[in-house]
A and B are shown apart, each in its own frame.
Chain A
Amino acid sequence: MTKPDQSQPAKRSKKAVLMPKQEPEIRAHNFDEVALGYTEEQALEEAERCLNCPKPQCIAGCPVELDIPEFIRLIKERKYEEAIKKIKEKNSLPAICGRVCPQEEQCQKLCVLCKIGEPTAIGRLERFAADYELKKGVETLPLPKPTGKKVAIIGAGPAGLTAAADLAKLGHEVVIFEALHVSGGVLVYGIPEFRLPKKIVEAEVNYIKKLGVKIRTDVLIGRLHTIEELFKKGFDAVFIGSGAGLPQFLRISGENFGGIYSANEFLIRVNLMKSYLFPEYDTPIRIGKKVAVIGGGNVAMDSARSALRLGADEVWIVYRRSREELPARAEEIENAEEEGIRFQFLTNPIRFIGDEHGWVKGMECIRMELGEPDASGRRRPSPIKGSEFVMDVDTVVVAVGRTPNPIIQSTTKGLETTKWGTIIADEKTGQTSIEGVFAGGDIVTGEATVISAMGAGKRAARAIHEYLMKK
C-alpha cells in the first residue's frame, strides 16, 4: 500500500464538510433548529469540492432542474447574491429545500464524487445561499407585464406555492386558497420547528407574495367555493395542490383510547398550534412517559423527536421492517439516534390495551420477518407466529402514512380519481379530466416529498401557461 503524498496538500477531501449542529443532549430539550448551517468558510470549502463536471449528472436528479454546478461555481467565487438568483430561477423555496429535500436520494446520489467518497453537499450549499439572502433581505423583482389571465391555486403547500410563483413570474394573476389559517401546508403543520423553522417558511411565502401572489387563508375549497364556482368568479384555470392530509390508522382494536394520536394530530398540535408553548398558546398536548411511534418515515422521526422534546422519558420507533428499509431521510435517522430515540425493528402492533379511564397503557406487538420484495421493491414483512409481546406505553403516535384529502374530489363533478382517491392527472402537465383544471403533488401521487410536489407544481405551471396563452 502506498502512503498518500504528504508534501502535496490533499486537493479534494473524500468527505463533505460537516454542518454544525446543536449538541444532541441540548437540542433534545428545545425546539430550536438542530442544523445550524454552514459558515462562509465552510461553504467555500465545500463548494471547492464540486468538480463542475462538463456533463453534470446532479441536475437530472433534481425534480425542479436546478442548475447545481452553476450556483456552486458562483459560491466559489463568493458571488452569493448571484448564486441565489441562479437558484431562484428554478426554485422559489430554496431555504426550505436546502433543509428538507432528500438530497441523498436525488441530486447528491448522482454526484460523480460518490465514486471516491461523499458527494458534494448540495443541499447544505443551497441552504447557505438561501439563508445568506434571507439575512440580507430578499430583493423584490420587477413584476412582469400582466397577461390578464387569472389562476386559482388550491392549497398553499409546496406544490401550490411553486405553481403560484412560476405563474406569477409569467405575468398571470394568481390567488391561492388555503384551508388552514396559515400558509405552508405540510411545511407548517407537519415538519417541526427544529427541522424547518416557521420563520423560514414565512420568509419564503413572503417572497412569493412579493411576486404578486395573493393568498386567502381559511378557505376550504369544496365547502366555501366549488371549482365550478371559481370559474364563474372569473378564474381561467385552476391548480389543485390540496395534498395528502388525511391520517391513516392501523385499524386495530383499541385505537380510539386516549393517548393515541395520528401523527397528523400530534404534529398539528405541536407545530401549527405551538402546543409546546402551552399555556402561552392555547392548544394543549398531553405527553406521557413512554411513547411509541409507529412507522419509519420522516413523519415518524419528526413525531418521535417532538415527543422527546416535550419531555417523554423514553421514545421508541416501532417499525415493521428493518433499519435498512427505513424510508426517512438519512440525516434525520442519524439525528434521532444521536438524541436517544430507540428503535424496535421488525415489530408490528396488533392491539392496544387501555386502563379504566380509556387511556392507553400498553400495546401488544408481534415480531416480523422479511420475505420477498413487494410492489414497492422493499422486502415484504410477515408476522412470526407466537412471537407476541406487550410493550408498556402511555402515548402512541400512529405515523403510517396519509391519504388524499377527499373534499375536492367529492364536490367536483367530472373529476376522475383512482381507487385510492388520488386525482388522475397527466404526469408531464398535471392536466386532469376537466378542461382548465390541473393537479399536482400528493393529491395526485399519494404521500411523497416536498420537492416532488414542487416539481409537479412547476410542470403544471408550465402547462397552465401554455393553456392560458392559447385560449
Chain B
Amino acid sequence: MYKIVAKRELAPKIKLFEVDAPEIAAKAGPGQFVIIRQHETGERVPLTITDYDREKGTITIVFNEVGKTTKELGTFEEGDCIRNIAGPLGNPSEIQKFGRVLCVGGGVMVAPLYLVAKALREAGNELVVVVGARIKELLIFEKEMKEIADEFYVTTDDGSEGYQGLEFLTDILAKKKFDRVVVMGPVIMMKTVSEMTKPFNVKTVVTLTPIMVDGMGMCGACRVTVKGETKFGCVDGPEFDGHQVDFDELIKRQRVYLAEERLASVFYEKLGGLASDEA
C-alpha cells in the first residue's frame, strides 16, 4: 500500500499525487515510470515519474482523467492508499552535457519533461523549452519551466495562449543550431516534431507510452517498430530515436482497446463504479 501524502489539481482533470514510496524514490531517475494498480480489481497502468524526493521518500505522478482508471484515481484523496506501485521501470533518460537542447512538451507529459529538463539544466545544457496544450486552461508547469529555460515558448492548439500549433518550431530550429531535441507528449505531437526536426539533422528523442500490462518485458503489448525492428517500450525504452519510430503503427496500436475503454468509462460514470464497489 502506498499512501498519497499530497494531492493537487494542476488543471481541469489533471491531477498530481505525491506518494509515499521511499524505496522507489531512492532509485528513481528522470524519464522512468512506475506501474500502478489502484485496487484489487484495477488494471496495471504505467505513469511516468514526474518528481522524487529521496529525503522525504516520496515520488510524484501526474495524470489526466481520460479513462475509467484515471477518473477513479482522481477521486483518491490525501491519506488514501494506492494498492500497488512497481518501479522505477524503464531506462532513465540520457542526461549529459549536449550543448543546446530543445525540450518540447505537450499535455500531461509536460510534468515528467520538467524533471528531465531540470536534469539537463543541471548537466550544463542551454535550454529552449516549449510547452503546449490543447487550450490554455490545460497548460501545466509553465512557471516552473520558465524558471529553468533560457528561452521559453507556449503553444496551444487553438491559439488561446502563445503560438497556435507547432509550425513556429521550424523558425526556432532554423534560427539556432540544436544539439538535441527532447519531446514528451501525445504520439501525434511527437510524430510531428520528429518530422520537423529531421531536415535539421538533430537527434530527436521521444518518450513512448504504448499500452502495456506488466511493464517488465513480459507481455509484449508495448511493442513498437524502431528502425524496422520490434522493440519493447517498457524495457528497451521508454526513450527512442524519434526519427526511427514507426509512429503510424504506434497510433493504431494505441487504439486497440478504444471500444473497451469507452465501455469501462460509461459503466463507471453511469453506474457509479461497478468495480470499485466490489473492491
Residues of A within 8 A of B (CB): 179-181, 189, 217-220, 223-225, 245-247, 249, 251, 255-256, 258-259, 261-262, 264-265, 268-269, 273-274, 278-284, 286, 357-358, 405-407
Interface residues of B in 179-231 (CB under 8 A from A): 213-214, 216-221, 223-225, 230
Contact B264 A278 (CB under 8 A): yes
Contact B219 A282 (CB under 8 A): no
For B265, the closest partner residue in chain A by CB is A279
**B256 at the A/B interface (Cβ < 8 Å)?**
yes
Contact A279 B221 (CB under 8 A): no
Chain B residues contacting A265 (CB-CB under 8 Å) are 213, 219-221
A218 vs B37: C-alpha distance when bound (angstroms): 10
A sample of 6 more A-B contacts (CB under 8 A), given A181-B84, A245-B218, is: A256-B225, A256-B249, A259-B256, A279-B275, A283-B213, A284-B260
Selected contact of B257 from candidates A224, A280, A286, CB within 8 Å: A286
A275 vs B35: C-alpha distance when bound (angstroms): 18
Number of A-B contacts (CB under 8 A): 127
A283 vs B40: C-alpha distance when bound (angstroms): 11
Give B235 Cβ to nearest chain A Cβ, in Å. Answer: 7
Taken residue by residue from 63 to 85, chain B's Cβ proximity to chain A (1 for < 8 Å, 0 otherwise) reads as 00000110000000000000111
A262 vs B234: C-alpha distance when bound (angstroms): 15
Contact A284 B264 (CB under 8 A): yes
For A259, the closest partner residue in chain B by CB is B256
A24 vs B203: C-alpha distance when bound (angstroms): 58
Chain B residues contacting A358 (CB-CB under 8 Å) are 249, 252-253
Taken residue by residue from 257 to 273, chain B's Cβ proximity to chain A (1 for < 8 Å, 0 otherwise) reads as 10111011001000000
Chain B residues contacting A225 (CB-CB under 8 Å) are 23, 27
Contact B218 A264 (CB under 8 A): yes
A268 vs B278: C-alpha distance when bound (angstroms): 21
Residues of B within 8 A of A (CB): 23-24, 27, 37, 41-44, 68-69, 83-89, 213-214, 216-221, 223-225, 230, 235, 249, 252-253, 255-257, 259-261, 263-264, 267, 274-275, 278
Selected contact of B83 from candidates A181, A247, A280, CB within 8 Å: A181
For B84, the closest partner residue in chain A by CB is A181
Selected contact of A357 from candidates B83, B230, B252, CB within 8 Å: B252
Give A274 Cβ to nearest chain B Cβ, in Å. Answer: 8
Chain B residues contacting A179 (CB-CB under 8 Å) are 86, 214, 216
Which residue among B68, B69, B252, B267 has the maximum number of chain A CB atoms within 10 Å of its CB? B252
Chain A residues contacting B89 (CB-CB under 8 Å) are 220, 223
Chain A residues contacting B88 (CB-CB under 8 Å) are 223-224
A259 vs B253: C-alpha distance when bound (angstroms): 9
Give B45 Cβ to nearest chain A Cβ, in Å. Answer: 9
Contact B41 A407 (CB under 8 A): no
Chain A residues contacting B41 (CB-CB under 8 Å) are 274, 280-282
Contact B275 A281 (CB under 8 A): yes
Contact A282 B218 (CB under 8 A): no
Contact B218 A189 (CB under 8 A): yes
Selected contact of A282 from candidates B23, B43, B252, B253, CB within 8 Å: B43
Please, could you name 30 A-B residue pairs with CB atoms under 8 Å apart, sorted by A? A180-B86, A180-B216, A189-B218, A218-B84, A218-B85, A219-B86, A220-B89, A224-B87, A247-B220, A255-B230, A256-B224, A256-B253, A258-B252, A258-B253, A258-B256, A261-B220, A262-B219, A262-B220, A268-B213, A273-B213, A278-B260, A279-B264, A280-B278, A281-B41, A282-B68, A284-B261, A357-B255, A358-B252, A405-B218, A407-B235
Residues A249 and B230 in contact in the complex (CB < 8 Å), given A218-B85, A264-B220: yes
Across the A-B interface, the 3 shortest Cβ-Cβ residue pairs: A358-B252, A284-B260, A265-B219
Residues A224 and B24 in contact in the complex (CB < 8 Å), given A264-B220, A283-B43: yes
A66 vs B86: C-alpha distance when bound (angstroms): 37
Give B266 Cβ to nearest chain A Cβ, in Å. Answer: 9
A224 vs B249: C-alpha distance when bound (angstroms): 32
Which residue among A179, A189, A223, A262 has the maximum number of chain B CB atoms within 10 Å of its CB? A223
A261 vs B42: C-alpha distance when bound (angstroms): 21
Chain A residues contacting B217 (CB-CB under 8 Å) are 245-246, 405-407
Chain B residues contacting A251 (CB-CB under 8 Å) are 230
Contact A268 B275 (CB under 8 A): no
